[in-house]
Structure 1
Amino acid sequence: MKKVFLTISTLFIIVGITAFNKPDDAENASQVSSPTAAPWKILFDGQSTKGWHSYGQTTTGAAWKVEDGAIHLDAAAKAAGVAGGDLVTDQEYKDFDLMLEWKISANGNSGIIFYVHDDKAKYPDTYNTGLEMQVLDNDGHPDGKIPKHRAGDLYDLISSNTEPVKAVGEWNKAEIVSRKGKLELFLNGTKVVTTTLWDANWKKLVAGSKFASMPDFSIYKSGKIALQDHGNEVWYRNIKIKEL
Structure 2
Amino acid sequence: MQQRLLPLLILTLLCTCVRAQITDPKATEFYEPVPPKVQSSPVLLPPPSDAIVLLGKGADAAEWVNAKTGAATDWTKEGDALVVKPGSGTIKTRRTFGDVQLHVEWRSPNEPDKKGQQRGNSGVFFHERYEVQVLESNGSDTYTNGQAASIYKESPPLVNATSVMGDWNSYDIIFSSPVFNADGMLIRPAYVTVFHNGVLVQNHWEIKGTTAYIGLHKYTAHPETGSIMLQDHSNKVAYRNIWVREL
**TM-score surpassing 0.5?**
yes
Which of residues 107, 116, 123 is equivalent to 1:103? Answer: 107
CA RMSD in angstroms, aligned pairs only? 2.8
- Could you state the TM-score of these two structures normalised by the residue count of structure 2? 0.64
Secondary structure in structure 1 of the residue aligned to 2:127: strand
Correspondence 1:242 to 2:239: no
Task: State the one-letter code of the partner of 2:131.
Answer: E
Give the 5 Å matches for 1:74-85.
74-75=85-86, 78=87, 84-85=88-89
Q: Distance between the aligned counterparts of 1:208 and 1:67, measured in 2? A: 31
1:215 and 1:67 map into 2 onto residues whose CA distance is 37
Question: Aligned AA for 1:92?
Answer: T
CA contact (8 A) 2:153 2:211 kept: no
1:149-201: CA deviations, max 9, x gaps? 00111111100011111011000010110236432011001110124546xxx
1:53 and 2:69 aligned: no
State the identity %.
Answer: 25
The structure whose residues are more often helix, as a share, is 1
Residue from 53, 68, 73 that aligns with 1:42 = 53
Partner of 2:26: none
CA deviation string 1:87-128 (max 9, x = no partner): 100011101000010001122211111112xxxxxxxxxxxx
Q: Please, which of 174, 178, 194 is the counterpart of residue 175 of structure 2?
A: 178
TM-score relative to the length of structure 1: 0.65
Q: Unpaired segments of 5 or more residues in structure 1? A: 1-36, 79-83, 117-129
Call closer, same or farther: CA 1:39–1:104 in 2, change over 3 Å: same
3-state SS of paired residue (2:216): helix
Cα 1:174–1:213 shift into 2, 3 Å = closer
2:83 to 49, 63, 72: 72
- Shift of residue 61, structure 1, vs aligned partner: 3.9
Aligned counterparts of 2:93 and 2:214: Cα–Cα separation in 1:
25
User: What is residue 153 of structure 2 aligned with on the other side?
Assistant: 156
Out of 203, 212, 215, which is 2:216 matched to? 212
Q: What SS does the aligned partner of 2:146 have?
A: coil
- When residues 85 and 220 of structure 1 are mapped into structure 2, their CA distance, relative to the original with a 3 A threshold, is same
Query: Of the two, which has the highest radius of gyration?
Result: 1
> Structure 1 residues 196 and 139, CA, compared in 2 at 3 Å: closer, same or farther?
closer
Q: In the alignment, is the contact (CA less than 8 A) between 2:173 and 2:192 conserved in 1?
A: yes
Tell me by how many angstroms 1:146 deviates. Answer: 1.1
Give structure 2 stretches of 5+ with no counterpart: 1-47, 112-118, 178-189
Q: CA deviation at 1:49?
A: 1.0
**Equivalent pair of 1:86/1:228 in contact (CA under 8 Å):** yes
Alpha-carbon contact 1:108-1:140 (below 8 Å) kept: no
State how far apart, in whole Å, the 1-side matches of 2:205 and 2:169 are.
25
